[in-house]
Structure 1
């Protein structure tokens, strides 16, 4: 079979994989599409696993990207519960764990990432939980109950979202973090402090600058977290959220260039011209920043596949240049249906832009930080690098324009809520 007659194969039946298949069909591609996934679940979105699905606000059906019949209706071969063992770029084949082979014309890797494991004694006991897949969310949900003692290791996005969900159901929550503030590497000290205050205000016991040395337990069941100072935090369950690592093993073994993810150009093409990558696993060259960046958030998995699909179909203008975006949301106060939630009791945040931990020289706040209704801007030499709106809506477009324009702004006007962002 000629390469051009082979299907496009997508490895990773995730949000990114499903969206790539959808984009190929929408672009008019009528050839074969094979979507291969290791999980037995059809492609689903991951944000609800630490948000609405975890808290019980959303039912399971809402997490899926497409209805079950969608794949057959669009002539997409969906192979679930199927692990990929190897890729041979020279032969244009994918070898499956059951020794089967699938030839490809173009290959897209949406293999995502995996949670980093906690490297301490006792970490393999029952009750030590990670969050990546829907079954993980089910296990954490079962552990969140009134009065339960939940220890969360890591004060990143996942850790804080789980902590908020646990407090909402009435669990006792202790968050353990090696750094001195939550989200410090992502947000910097000024905004990280806001998140620390907000979670403490809602009963989360935040402990910073701590070292986890052991998970204690009896009969194979975790019962606590031992710290470097010899103290111990009692726990009925321990949720570990210490970051994720891009799933690059297949790419490395295939000889693709790997550096903090699978390295791609702005078209999401890897070092092999017939292999592309998108989502968490892709370290893509971004034309706006003129550098490679890897973004571990939903928006990349949602939007990069559209660029990859068009690029695989030979469209030279297929360039991924969207400003990085992510969001988080949480509520702490149980309420009756239709009862409004005070701003201080909810966290609805959107973030646009890209800033290295030491890449800014000033943070400008606009709005009421104490009321939890504000926008924060990260600036370097008077230019906006990123903006975060907290419980303030319909501002992402002007924030994006400030970032993309790269123009020098007046910080006092930027901070003044009486001046429209478009006029700063």
Structure 2
């Protein structure tokens, strides 16, 4: 495992979190309104918009707008099943289920709605049968659950197990779908069996809008219209209340980074930790579009993509740890850093050098007589050996067994400033 670190040397020692927010302009996207975001097995980012589907290959956006048999270009959700196949859901009078075949959009199926109905697609996910075949499941608010299996549609309407069609969100865990609606939570399994009153003892009396379910299928966090709650066993704790006109609607709760989580409200993103402490809030005043948030997606590099009615924002998390002399460094004036192996880093300073262990965050300091207190200006790892340039110390080399050797004495090279290696291994 390759470990990358930032070491910032300042006059204090503290932990600090920073976020870089990038807004993606409408000229790069197929449409202004982005409803859904997902990632394919090759790590391309795909978006569903009001004017087609597009994907980002890391350098530029590629648009796919035409699907034979579907006159409109409005897509509400785009997702990949576990076999790597793209599926998208569109709506224009009828609900359409679209896939990708030979890099072209293909109409898999169409569900005809009564013309007078104006329905809203809330979410879309998959179940897998005994043969591991994909079963697409679509939540259509105030209409029902649409299931596409064996090239035919199944509609689930109001029942004892599904007492409300006012849907808010859909959570997939262990091939079970948890359907959040205005009267609680229902569960749909791979045999298409519905069961009601999931987590009823915990969420009783709450108008739940979104949930986070752990791998043991226990509810850990949930939101109602204005509040975020933590759940421990059967104990419930309110940890945050939205202010002003903000509310939770189609709330997504994501395990963002180790013990950090993020939840989306209508116009803001809230970060909180394992202990339920809110750490950071991002909205239109500090990086987001001031527009309704439609979807959150966390990619494989821990970049958070935020879909909204005004485009996309990307949120990159930076976790800085500050070290200085009081934390164990040989000196706070560090001029050069080089990685020695998976966990060790060489830090060149004015009074010697430190070896930093990134696994236990410890330092070993060295002030060899050969350096004579000179400042190390540069260093380079060449086949496991650290070459060292320094003021008034010539050119040195730290061997793999920890021995410091002179390559060029000060009589030949008094002040060495920089080192590099050519493509033939020459220094």
TM-score between the two structures when normalised by the length of structure 1: 0.24
> Which of the pair is proportionally richer in helix?
1
> Which of the pair is proportionally richer in strand?
2
TM-score between the two structures when normalised by the length of structure 2: 0.24
Structure whose CA Rg is larger: 2
